[in-house]
Structure 1
Amino acid sequence: MLDYLKNIIKNIPEKPGCYQYYDDKGVIIYVGKAKNLKKRVSSYFTKNHDDSPKTRILVSKIRDIKYIIVNSEEDTFLLENNLIKEFQPRYNVMLKDDKTYPSIVIKNGYFPRVFQTRKIIKDGSTYFGPYTSALSVKALLEIIHKLYPIRTCNLALTPENIKSKKFKVCLEYHIKRCLGPCEGLQTLEDYNKNIEYVKEILKGNIGLVSNSIYEDMQKLSEELKFEEAQKLKEKFQLIDNFKTKSTIITNANYNIDVYGYEDDENAAYINYLSVSNGAVIRAYTFEYKKKMEESPEELLGMGIIEMQKRFDSHPQEIVVPFYPDISLTKTSFLIPQRGDKKKLLALSQQNVKQYKIDKLKKAETLNPEQRSVRIVKGIQNDLHLKELPVHIECFDNSNIQGTNPVSACVVFKMAKPSKKDYRHFIVKTVEGPDDYSTMKEVVYRRYKRLMEEESPLPQLIVIDGGKGQLNASVESLKELGVYGKIAIVGIAKRLEEIYYPEDSIPLYLDKNSETLKVIQHLRDEAHRFGITFHRNRRSKGQLQSELDTIKGIGEESKKLLLRRFKSFKRIKEASLPDLEETIGKSKAKLLYEHLNNNDTIDIKFKS
C-alpha cells in the first residue's frame, strides 16, 4: 500500500460517514458507507481478498481516499444512495431504476390522505422522510391509522361530490377506522384536527403514540396476553427510529450551495456541500495558504468563486457561516438560524473541522516533534503560564497506614515522560502520615539539590493534591528563593480541579483537552512510580526484619536471598538445596533449621 494511503487511513475518524475511492486519474471508482469509517476503510487494506477478485482489483486501483462524516448511521445510507446516483462509480452496483428511499406524504386536498410514497410531487403536499426502513414506515402508518380515523381510499372528496351523495361508506367505516367523510358524517374541520396530530408524530413528537402504546401494553400484560404486548413493543421500537430527522435528504426540494469555514495562523479551510433537490450530492474540502493578512470574509469569497468555476454551480441561494466579501448577481447569501439549512451548515462545519484535524494529524505523523510543540504551547495557554513548560515535574506522596512514607518525582520533557530523570525520596524529617509536611520536605530537597548542582529548574511543578499540599510546596519554594520563578499548580483528585497559589477559585479544564490529559498522565505516572517504590521498600523491610532474628545471616546473605526469592514466604518454602545454592551449605543449614524449628512462633514484622 502506498505510504500516502497509509497516512490517510491512520487519521480517518471513527465516525459514521461515506468514503470515496479515487483512481490515478482522480475519478471516483467506488462509494461506500460505514458506521465506523476508520474500521471499514482499514479492512480493505488489511484483509486477504483472495476469495473476492473484484475487491482485490478495486484495492489495487485506489490512489486517493476522501470521506464525508454525517450524524447518524441512517444518514450514511441516504448519502451513499445520493453519491452513487450522482457519480455512478465503476465498482458500485448500478441502480437499474430511479428507486429511492420511502417517504410519508400528507396529500394536499380535501380530507388529506396519509400514505407511503417514493415520488416527490410539487403539488403542495407535505412530505416527511425519507426513511431507510420500509418496515418502520409501514409500522408507523399502521399505528397512525389505528390511533386516528383517517381515510385510506383515493376518492375525490370535494364538497360538491359529498353534497351530491356520490359515494357510500366502505368497510373501514364499519370497523371504525374511518368516520365516513365521504357521506358527510365527519366535518373537514374535525378531520383536519386528526391530520395535525399526525403531523406532530411525523415531526418526531411521538409522545402521543408512546403513551397510547404504553397503556395498551399494560392492559395486555394485565390480561396475560404477553405475545400481543410484545408485538406492540416491537412496533414502538420501529417508530422510535423516526425521532431523528435526516440532514442528508430533505423534502424541501431546494437547490443550494453550503459552505463551512475554519482557519489557523497559516491557512484557511473551506468545505463545500452541493444540495440538489434537497439532497446532498457532493462534498469537497480545500484550503488556501495565507500570504498576507487576508480576512476570513475575503478568503471565503475566493473559495465560493473557485467552487462555482470548478463545479459550474450557480444556485440562487448560498448558505454561509458569515457573509463573504463578494456580491453575486442572481445569488443571495443566507446565515440560517434554524431548520434544515441550519443543520446543513452544521454538517459542513463539522466536515471542515475534521479536515483541519486530519491535516494536523498527518503533519504530526511525519514530524512527531510538531505535536509535542503544539501540546506544550497548549499547556502554556490553558494554564496561563509566562514560560513555555518544556520541563514539567510532578510530586506524589505514598504511605499505607503511616508506614514507610516515600515520595516520587516524575519528569516530563516536551510533554513526554523522561524516565531517566525520575526520582524517589525516603522521607527523613516527618513522623507519621503527614502529607503537608512530607510534600514540603521533598520539594525543598529536590530543588535545593538542583540549585546546588546548577541543574536546570522546571518551568512548571504539578503537585498531586489539593490546596494544603500546594501551599506546603509554595513555602519550600519561598525558602529557596525561587517562588515566582517557577510556575506551580495543584490538581485535586476528585473533580480534576487545577489550583493556583493564593487563589481559592480552581480552574476547570475541558475533559477532552490535551492539557488535562498531560496533567493526568503526570499524576498517574507519579502515583505508579511512588507506589512501586513503596511496595518494594515494605517488602524489603519485612524480609530483612525476619532475617535479622537469625544469627549467622549477615547483610550480604540477606541481599542474595532477597534477590532470588523476593519474599520471606518463598524463603521459608525453599528446599535446602536451593538455599545452599544461594548462600552456601553452612549458612543454608543454619537458616533451614531455624525456619523449620520456628513454625509455630508468631514473628512480628518491623516497619
Structure 2
Amino acid sequence: MSDVHSDQLLAEVAALPAMPGVYRYFDASGGVLYVGKARNLKKRVSSYFQKNHGGTRIGHMIGKIVRMETTVVRSEAEALLLENNLIKTLNPRYNILFRDDKSYPYLKIFGTDKSADAQAPSASVFPRVAYYRGSVDRKHRYFGPYPSAWAVKESIQLLQKVFRLRTCEDTVFANRTRPCLLYQIKRCSGPCVNLVSPADYQHDVANAEAFLRGETQSVLAALETRMMQHAERLEFEQAAELRNQIGALSKVLHQQSVDTNSDKDVDILAVKVQGGRACVNLAMVRGGRHLGDRPYFPTHVEDAAAVQDFDDLADQGVGASSAVPVEVHVLEAFIAQHYIGVPVPPALITSEPVSRELLDALSEQTGVKISAVHNPREQRRLWLEMAQKGAAIQLARLLAEEGSQQARTRALVEALDLAPDELDTFRIECFDISHTAGESTQASCVVFHHHKMQNAEYRRYNINDITPGDDYAAMRQVLMRRYAKLAEAGRDSPEATPAQDVAAPAAPEPSTDAAADAAAHPAPDAPPTRAGGSAQRLPDLVLVDGGKGQVSMAREVFAELGLDLAVIVGVEKGEGRKVGLEELVFADGREKVYLGKDSAALMLVAQIRDEAHRFAITGMRARRAKVRVGGSSLEEIPGIGAKKRARLLQRFGGVRGVAAAGVDDIASVEGISRELAEEIYRALH
C-alpha cells in the first residue's frame, strides 16, 4: 500500500509522536476522508500504511489519502471531544455522521420581581410560562430540552390545569380590565386583575418549578400544609382551592404515570441497524415524566463502521479477531456528537454498552458525573423497550421510503435507457424560468441525487439584458452561466470527460448573481468544490421545463460548449396541460416519449419539475417585491433604528404602507424629523 503514497506523506507518518491526538486524512481535491483519534498517534496512523488492504472499504479509503493533518492533545478524553467537534465541522466521508438537529424546544418561566407587595398588577410580579426555542440566559428559568413542541405544550397545559399560571404576553396582561376566558375555565388565576395575591402566585410558581424538576411528593406535602393552615384559620375558600389543586395534581400524576421515586432526568438511547442504515431513537424523561422520543438517522454507516473496526483491531494488537458491533459504533458516535452543546442528564439508559472513556469525557466536558446503564430493570427496562420498538418502527419506515425512492430513480434510468456508473450518485439538474409579464425574470436550478432533492445545492440566477418575456433567451443565459466554465475545465483536463469528471458547484445558495457564478464556475485550475462529502460533476440528466423550443435552445448551448446532447430532456406539457400527460422531448433527435401517468419515472420527473417551478417562483416574487418598494428596506436607511422602524410599521401597517405614505405623513410619526422623512421617502421611491 505504501507505494501509492508520496514519500513526503510516509515521512510525516514516520515522524509522528507516540502521544494522544487527532488525525485527519484528505484526498486529492482537499476533501476530508476521515477524522480519528488515538492514544498513540504514531502506532495508530502507521497501521494504515503497513500493508495492502486490497479492495476492502478501508483499502478504498487509504488509496485516496494524499495528505494528513494531526493535532496532539493532553489526554484521550480531550482527543475524543476534539474528534467529534471536527466530525461535525468537516463532514468526513468515512465517519458516522449525525445531522446537526438540536433545535430542541424548552419550557420557559419568565423572570420575576419576587417582591410581593406590589399595589397594582404587574407583569414582573406575576411571571408567565411559555414555549421557547433559542439560547438560554440567566434572567429566566428554562426546563428541558423537550423532544418536541407537542411535549412542551402538553406540559404547559398541565401547569395551567394544576397551578393556573398565566400564559398571556406582557402587553396583553398590562391592558386587561377583566379576566379572560382562561380564568373562566379555571386555567388561570387571573393575576391581570388582582384576583390572586402576589404571594399566592409565587407559591404556585415555586410549586410548578418543583413539579417540573420531578419533586412531586414535596409539592403535594407543601400544598397539604398550606391547606391545613387555611382551614385552621377558618379560611375555607382558600383551603378548598388548595384541595382542588391537590386533586388535580394527583390526577395528573396518575394519568402521566410519573415515576415519583427514582429517576428525574434520564435519556434513553436505543439503536437499530438494518439494510445498511441505522436509527438512534432518543427518548426523554424529565421530572420523572416520559415526554416522548425523537429518531436520528446517521450517514456513512457501513463505510465508517469498516474503518472503525480496523481501528479497534489495530488497538487490540496482532491476532485479534473480535470487532465491536456496528450498533456500538453508531451509538457512541451519536452520544459524542449529540451532546456537544446540549445539556446531558446525569443518567443514560442505552441499548448497547458504551465505553467508560466516552462517559468520562462527557463528564469532564459538562462537569456533571454521567452514568450509563446497559441492562436496566423495572421502570427503566420498560422505557428502554419502548425506545427500541420506536427505533425499529422508524428504521422500517425509512427503509420503505428509501426503497420507493430508489425504485423511482431506477425506473427513470431504465425508461430513458441510461447507464449511470452508480444509481446512488445518478444526478439530475432541472431548470425553470419565472417572471411576471417580463418583470423580475429569474431562472432556477434544482438538483437531485442520492434519490432525493438536494436543496443545499439549489441555485437562482437573475436574468438580465434580454427582451422582457423571452424565455428562450433566459434559458440560454442560465445554461451558459451554469456550464460554460465547467466545459472549459473539462477541455483543459486531459483526463476529464464532459459527462462525468468535471467539477460542479456545491456552495450554499448565494444571495447575488456574482456569488452564484463564482460558486457555480470554479476556475479550471481550482480544486473541485465539495458537498455532502462527494465531489460534484456535470449531471447525468439535464431537465428543462418546456417542449421543443426550450430543448432546441438547450441543444444549441450544449453543442456550442461541446457537451453531450443526450443528457438534455425537455418536459413538455400534455394535452390540456393536464398533470400526468407530460411527454419527454430529447435533444439528440430521439422520438418523444410518453411514460404513462402511473409511471414511477414520470412521478419522479414531475416532482423535480415542480420543485424547480416552486423555487423559481419564490425567488421571482421576492425580487419583484423588493423592486416595487424601491429596492430598499427600512433597515438599510441611515437613521432608522429598531424603535423608529417599529413605529413606522405600526402606523402604516408594513413596508408597502410606508412606501405609499407621503413625506408629511411619515414626518407625523413620533421620532421622525422632516429631514429623515424625506430621506425615507427617497429611499423607498
Shorter-normalised TM-score: what interval? 0.3 to 0.5
> TM-score when scaled to structure 1?
0.33
